[in-house]
Amino acid sequence: MPPIKYRAIVERIENLSYNVRGFRFKLADPPQLEFKAGQFIILNVPKDRTTVKRAYSIASPPHEPRTLELCIQKVESGIASTYFWQLKEGDTVSISGPHGNFLLKEPLDYDPIFMATGTGVAPLRAMIKHLIHINFARDIWLFFGCRYEHALLYESEFRSLANVRHNFHYLPTVSRPKDWRGEIGHIQQTFQKHIKDASQNEVYLCGWLEVVKSVCKDLEGAGVPKEKLHYEEWA
């Protein structure tokens, strides 16, 4: 379906880490946005009598079409993130969507493996919540990497989900730990530790371009077929 322009109202703002906030919007006009897990929207940022467009992955699942969640990192002097940091609950924004083809491969006859760094977890969260919603019975893996443990986004949510859904495996990895008892290093190392044969899996990656390229190279070197790797370069 072609992208549509929407007016959305800021419903909730929460701190997800020291430099990342979660924004929940209520769709006002039109009142709902039909999209697929993994897609993104374009935010129309007013700037000096012009409009600056920025892309953000949708962090919420498609079965909640009347609301929209975004995961935004503060970038010094960044036009869009500065705009976001000035928003208050009740403010109105202009967006368009949906956009993108970073989607779950159909049919869902495999065990999906999700790998993210930083805010790259946003579209993968949407995919995971979609799979849980449709009662997907096969194993779901999430390898989530950050430098510091306090930068792990949606940490309590993913841990709670892993506790109640035994087919969901959450493996956060920290590369510069301070007081951390979990996996240490990089996500590709944790992947190789827990996944011995990925030939029957589909692997979805999202994060900074150079990080994604590096992880893909390591996974291919470890025997993961290139056609099994699906990635979004930034979220």
pLDDT tens for each residue of 114-150: 999 999 999 999 999 999 999 999 999 999 999 999 9
pTM of the model: 0.94
Extended beta strands in the chain, E state: 4-15, 20-29, 40-47, 50-57, 67-73, 92-99, 111-117, 140-146, 168-174, 183-184, 201-206, 229-232
* Residue 25 CB neighbours (<10 A): 25
* Options 2.40.30.10, 3.40.50.720, 3.40.710.10, 3.40.30.10; CATH of 4-99: 2.40.30.10
pLDDT over threshold 90, residue 177 = no
Percentage of the chain lying above the pLDDT 90 cut: 86
State both tokens at 165: 């859904």
Q: Which carries the bigger pLDDT value, residue 235 or residue 55?
A: 55
Determine the pLDDT at residue 1: 63
pLDDT over threshold 90, residue 222 = no
Poorest-pLDDT segment among 94-103, 151-160, 224-233: 224-233
Q: Do 4-99 and 111-232 agree at the fold level?
A: no
Determine the pLDDT at residue 48: 86
Q: Which carries the bigger pLDDT value, residue 222 or residue 7?
A: 7
Percentage of the chain lying above the pLDDT 70 cut: 98
* Burial grade of 139 (CB within 10 A; 0-12, 13-18, 19 or more): middle
CATH class of 111-232: alpha beta
Determine the pLDDT at residue 235: 46
- Tens of pLDDT, residue by residue over 147-166, are 999 999 999 999 999 999 99
For the chain, give the mean pLDDT. 94
List the chain domain ranges.
4-99, 111-232
Determine the pLDDT at residue 3: 81
Determine the pLDDT at residue 200: 84
Mean pLDDT over 161-177 rounds to 95
